[in-house]
Amino acid sequence: MRITSALIDPALLDLPWHIPLEDWPADHLVALPQGISRHVVRFVKLNDTVYAMKETRERIAEKEYDLLRALERIDFPAVQAVAIATDRQTKEGEPLETVLVTRHLQFSLPYRALFSRVLRPETMNRLLDALAALIVRMHLTGFSWGDCSLSNTLFRRDAGAFAAYLVDAETGNLYPKLSEGQRSEDIEILRLNIFGECLDLQAAELLHESIDPEAVVDDIVARYERLWHEVTYEQEVAKDARHHIERRIRRLNEMGFDVAEVSMSTMDGGYRVRPKVVDAGYHTRRLMRLTGLDAEENQARQLLNDLDTYRAESHLTDEQQAAHRWLTEVFEPVVRAVPANLRQKLEPQEIFSQIIQHKWLLSERAGRDVGMGPTVQSYLTEVLVNKPDEQAVLGMEPDELSSVLP
């Protein structure tokens, strides 16, 4: 047996690699709900880290491992490739398939836990927005998925919304730029896969009776097309309305996309403008640059809004100085106030985002600013304590998860 690993964990060597993955003993496994897969997939916990193990052919495993590593280098939202185990054999010398090892995404939720009978329409909208944004982002990157589906996606909370992450990349390819044909093929695959998955949920009685699979498919495609148009269309701007160019860039930034350059050409009475949108993560990168905090895009937007408010109220002109003081005087004290037994329920950035929202609700109710101290105590005792922590979610089946998810 041979292991090629990007992230060395000696405990991997102690796993029963001589046994087919589907026969691994239960004491090595963690029960996690998962989507439909054509491969045997198991979850293993080693030293407080959960890994996903997928058994497949060596060539496919090596391709996916290399592709996930490439996506990690460009900071694309995907699971992290950890290792591939090849040349496996049973004790009798029979060959076994290669295993691809990825790190399980903390605080993430599979679609079968979210698309359940308790799914509210507003939650459905947030999930579809997250999936559409993921596919737009991958197409801007030059990534052709080849198997767009809910089963190959994980969702994480993102300040009232969701962020989507790619899980399975074995059918994907990374190009300098996608053609319209490649992009259209991905969307057609998306349409077929999601329709089939909704029918599967419907047959398992996990889909709310008010949700129509055909409507879900049409909705996700429409959301994708609207977002793709917004980030790529060529805009005609009159000569005396050049401020529209700056407004377009600000709107793209507000949506979370970075603009690398703007292509402009003259026309009768004005200009044709096409921004080159390179990637999502505008607010995430700004927050990282100022504070070192790694957050999802909507979380970062909320944290930056709080930082900017703090800067204005403190009359600080230097952005870096304001960020340092906000981090040490506001963010870190709030995070430290969370008791140790509650810290596994949500990420610190998500907890802070929810506290900001809780403060607004309390202040609206009181008709005045209630302050951060009372807000934190109220949130901890009335909200956070009632949320499931990560370990509880990891051990639940889809029907049990539906009772505790938003």
For residue range 112-129, what is the model confidence (pLDDT) as tens digits?
776 654 556 677 777 888
Distance, in Å, from the CA atom of 276 to the CA atom of 267, rounded to the nearest integer, reads: 19
pLDDT higher than threshold 50 for residue 388 = yes
pLDDT of the residue at 201: 79
For residue range 210-238, what is the model confidence (pLDDT) as tens digits?
888 899 899 999 989 988 888 888 888 77
pLDDT band at residue 326 using 50, 70 and 90 as cut-offs: very high
User: Based on the structure, what is the number of domains in the chain?
Assistant: 4
Asked whether residue 366 is assigned to any structural domain, the reply reads: yes
Distance, in Å, from the CA atom of 310 to the CA atom of 303, rounded to the nearest integer, reads: 10
More reliable by pLDDT, 295 or 86:
86
Question: Does 370 lie in the same domain as 263?
Answer: no
Provide DSSP, 277-294.
EEEE-HHHHHHHHHH---
Please indicate, yes or no, whether the overall pTM of this predicted structure exceeds 0.85. no
pLDDT of the residue at 29: 87
Question: Does 144 lie in the same domain as 58?
Answer: no
Residue 221: how many CB atoms within 10 A of its CB?
Answer: 18
Asked whether 140 and 229 are in contact (CB, 8 A), the reply is no
> Helix, strand, coil % (nearest 5) of the chain?
50, 20, 30
Question: Does 136 lie in the same domain as 60?
Answer: no
pLDDT band at residue 404 using 50, 70 and 90 as cut-offs: very low
Question: Does 196 lie in the same domain as 141?
Answer: yes
pLDDT higher than threshold 90 for residue 144 = yes
Asked whether residue 299 is assigned to any structural domain, the reply reads: no
For residue range 235-280, what is the model confidence (pLDDT) as tens digits?
887 777 766 777 777 777 776 666 666 677 777 777 777 766 655 6
Length of the chain: 406
More reliable by pLDDT, 31 or 66:
66
Asked whether residue 51 is assigned to any structural domain, the reply reads: yes
Burial class (CB in 10 A: 0-12, 13-18, 19+), 159: buried
pLDDT band at residue 36 using 50, 70 and 90 as cut-offs: low
pLDDT higher than threshold 70 for residue 319 = yes
Asked whether residue 293 is assigned to any structural domain, the reply reads: no
The whole domain housing 9 covers 2-103
Q: Which amino acid is at 121?
A: P
Question: Does 364 lie in the same domain as 254?
Answer: no
Q: What whole-number percentage of the chain has pLDDT above 90?
A: 30
pLDDT higher than threshold 70 for residue 200 = yes
CATH of the domain at 92: 3.30.200
Residue 6 main-chain phi, psi, to 5 deg: -90, -20
Asked whether residue 45 is assigned to any structural domain, the reply reads: yes
Asked whether residue 327 is assigned to any structural domain, the reply reads: no
Q: CA nearest 377: which of 348, 334, 317, 340?
A: 334
